[in-house]
Amino acid sequence: MSPTTIPALSVSGLAMRYGEREALRDVSFEAGAGELVAVVGPNGAGKTTLLSILAGLQRPSAGSVSRAPDEVGWVPQQPALYAKLTVAENLALFARLERVADPDAAVDRMLEQTGLRERASDQLSRLSGGNRQRVNVAIGLLSRPPVLALDEPSTALDPGQRERLWSFIRDLAGEGTSVLFSTHDVAEVQRYAARALVLADGRLLFDGTPAEFLAAAGRERQSGDSGEDSAGVPGGGDFEDAFVSFLRARGER
């Protein structure tokens, strides 16, 4: 985020403990309007915990978030939709529950935005995984939130569906919505994210652009192990290798 822009989201000193286990430790960052921020890390890094705190699903043990839950659109990993209702009925239900001023107009807007107008009368159970995920995202956007949090949105989608979903999300960011998404797929970070937050064991290890991450990972690898094959790190450009090396250098697997 540019230092002159006003942050759309500000997170300060966030911590989350489950008994003795610390899922998040002193995590702070900011996200600007229209910024596409990837939260990346290995399993158990604290990605879902971070996003669920932003969405208001969990109360943090410490720290603060600048936005109230109704200002953060929430898109859970698994589509949170009613299979027996149609696309339009799902959108209308959540528009009413979110007390959107004009629910019908909001449904119409989201059908247009998701490209699902022709499937509006189909029950969710008849939709493909990709289309369900689009409805899932659309529900997160019904109240036009300034921030959208997506938990591993492309999991279980085929490459075509994944491409269409990312195109949709990039359009959202282009319209000014701050988008935070968690992912395991480092290629997605490299392709779509403007910024990457690397989490491991609840700690924020890196906050910067994918290019900055590659550079940092390459520097560490070259200084730490000059005898090893350095192909794939800058300028090799293999983000996954860089990510693994980066974590390994910090004792993470």
Residues that bind another protein (CB under 8 A): 52-53, 55-60, 64-65, 68-72, 74, 76, 78-85, 89, 93-94, 96-98, 123, 139
Q: Shortest Cβ distance from residue 222 to another protein (Å)?
A: 42
CA–CA dist 29, 24 (Å, integer): 13
The order of strands in the sheet holding 203-208 is 72-75, 147-151, 178-183, 36-40, 195-200, 203-208
Residue type, 8: A
The CB-of-20 to another protein minimum distance in angstroms stands at 20
For another protein, the closer CB: 72 or 179 = 72
Instruction: For residue 68, give the 3-state DSSP assignment.
Output: coil
The distance of closest approach from Cβ of residue 229 to another protein in the complex, given in angstroms and rounded to an integer, is 42
Report, in Å, the least distance between residue 29 CB and another protein. Answer: 18
Smaller CB separation from another protein, 70 or 225: 70
| Residue 32 near residue 8, CB atoms below 8 Å | yes
Q: Closer to another protein at the Cβ: 49 or 190?
A: 49
Q: Are 74 and 149 in contact (CB under 8 A)?
A: yes
> In this complex, which beta carbon is closest to another protein, that of residue 33 or of residue 85?
85
Strand partners, 73: 148
- Tell the residue number behind the tokens 């600048």, with chain if given: 66
Residue 20 is classified by DSSP as T
Compare residues 41 and 79 and give the one whose CB is closer to another protein.
79
Q: Which two tokens stand for residue 223?
A: 């200084």
**Least CB distance from residue 139 to another protein, whole Å?**
7
Is residue 217 within 8 Å of 233, Cβ to Cβ?
Answer: yes
